[in-house]
A and B are shown apart, each in its own frame.
Chain A
């Protein structure tokens, strides 16, 4: 069986060792791709993005958080009602039981 290096299959991947040897290898990849994944051994350890993309990402994250706050204002919890977290925990409890599976897999 032929083996293939991960960077052959995924061109926007680079090893941390390669960066240590030659930082230009990373900058030339960033000229071609908006983001580059960095590997240590077989594990992805971080992602490098261009500075301008980084600022755009932060802008997107701020907009996302603002939308979440809008939903929070628009859908307040009813007094004494179950919160979404409480609901989630209750569902997880139910999913542990055989009764749940009997109910859903008849």
Chain B
């Protein structure tokens, strides 16, 4: 089983209708996680960003937000603690990235894992070879 890191920009698509861009790919990725083909690892900070996105971006009621976050946690094999600080700072300064976004990249680098993202603005492929854009993602064994 391959371990994979998924950015919040992909996770919020799991709560979106298929008419939205790249939701089909996001659901296919989720299916692979549900079936156990991939083991999902995310940094702990994803929970905070997800709550904001579901509350303000998706406008969910509190009980729906709680259950939605729990449903995400159920898919995670591991919520990883903050990676090495030196690695985060290095990404932040080199790529003028907010520390929250850099945590995903630093974790991918630390664990030598792929980071699938739909944030094509901040997670440019030049930032790290571990970054895979959702619109280009394909399942491989």
Contacts and interface: CB of A to CB of B under 8 A. Distances in A.
A83 B72 contact: no
B contact face: mostly helix, strand, loop, or mixed: helix
Contacts of B75: 61, 64-65
* Those 5 A-B pairs whose CB atoms lie nearest each other, nearest first: A87-B57, A84-B57, A64-B71, A64-B74, A84-B12
Contact of B16 (A54, A64, A84): A84
Interface residues of A, number: 34
B85 interface: no
11 contacts: A60-B74, A64-B70, A65-B14, A71-B64, A83-B21, A84-B13, A84-B53, A84-B57, A84-B58, A95-B98, A96-B97
Interface in B41-94: 49, 52-54, 56-60, 64, 67-68, 70-72, 74-75, 77-78
A93 B75 CA distance: 28
B58 A88 contact: no
A73 B19 CA distance: 11
A53 interface: no
Contacts of A72: 14-17
Interface of A: 43-44, 46-47, 54, 58, 60-65, 67-68, 71-77, 82-89, 91-93, 95-96
A68 B20 contact: no
A95 B13 contact: no
Interface in B1-42: 1, 3, 8-9, 12-17, 19-21, 30-31, 33-36, 39
B122 interface: yes
Contacts of A83: 12, 16, 20-21, 57
Nearest to B122: A92
From B31, B52, B98, name the one whose CB has the most chain A CB atoms within 10 angstroms. Answer: B98
A61 to B, nearest CB: 4
A84 B7 CA distance: 13
A73 to B, nearest CB: 7
Nearest to A61: B34
B137 interface: no
Contacts of A62: 34
